[in-house]
Amino acid sequence: MKIYHVKGTRSIRVIWLCHELNLPLEIETIPTFDAAFKASPEWRAKSPTGKVPVLEDGDITMYESGAMVEYILDRYGPGDLVPTDQTDLAMYYQWCWFAEATFARPLGDIMHNTVIKPPEERIAAVVPDAAQRARLCLDGVERCIENQPYLLGDKFSAADIMMGYSMMLSERTGVLTDDHPNSQRYYALLQERDGFRVAREA
């Protein structure tokens, strides 16, 4: 497998997962935030929106990080990263989807309007509104891990990998503060994992 990667982006999820599962992964770092590269026909052929990550595995090309995580777990895993109990599995799916579909969305809005878009295209009013929506998501995480180390209880799972990137983004955008102490503790715990460290530095 080969991942097209930009440091500090969602490709972290795939690099981290492969590290946890001890799977070989080729990492190609690309300048995706360079406008010309992002718009190039070669890159758009792999990633229609120009975003990272992109994963290639033989004939397969994927451009959605959560789908990559599920694909790798289905095909090469799951190790002990996916629960078998049906109740845990329901929560596992919920947290995986929540991490990207609900939580990462306002965080992405903040990133777009503070960092990614050229200054003249940024809409300042989006930022406080998105931060408020992101804090509501963090309230959900905060409650979940009040009395347990990980999203599913005592056991680390791939849902924590999905959430790990969103937590990283919430710290980077200033959404994660002392107002969410359980979430801070949770994120600190995730950062202790080798896979997280390897992915963050990649």
Ligand X SMILES: N[C@@H](CCC(=O)N[C@@H](CS)C(=O)NCC(=O)O)C(=O)O
* Rounded CA separation 107/90 (Å): 24
**Does 116 sit near ligand X (CB under 6 A)?**
yes
**Does 108 sit near ligand X (CB under 6 A)?**
yes
Q: Do residues 23 and 55 touch, judged by C-beta distance below 8 A? A: no
Which one of 18-26, 58-66, 91-99, 181-189 is the stretch in contact with ligand X (CB under 6 A)?
A: 58-66
- Side-chain-side CA neighbours of 19 within 13 Å: the count stands at 18
**Shortest reach from residue 114's CB to ligand X, in Å:** 13
**Shortest reach from residue 129's CB to ligand X, in Å:** 19
Is the preceding omega at residue 78 within 30 degrees of 0, hence cis? Answer: yes
Query: Using CB atoms within 10 A of its CB, is residue 181 exposed (0-12), middle (13-18) or buried (19+)?
Result: exposed
Residues 6 or more apart in contact with residue 167 via CB below 8 angstroms: 141, 176, 183, 186, 187, 190
**Does 100 sit near ligand X (CB under 6 A)?**
yes
Nearest Cα residue to 97 out of 158, 185, 17, 174: 158
> Which of 23, 27, 46, 50: binder of ligand X (CB under 6 A)?
50
Contact map string, positions 60 to 89, toward ligand X, x by CB under 6 A: ----xxx-----------------------
**Two tokens, residue 131:** 């931060």
**Shortest reach from residue 104's CB to ligand X, in Å:** 7
**Does 51 sit near ligand X (CB under 6 A)?**
yes
**Does 113 sit near ligand X (CB under 6 A)?**
no
**Does 164 sit near ligand X (CB under 6 A)?**
no
Chain residues that interact with ligand X, rule: CB under 6 A: 9-10, 32, 50-53, 64-66, 100, 108, 116
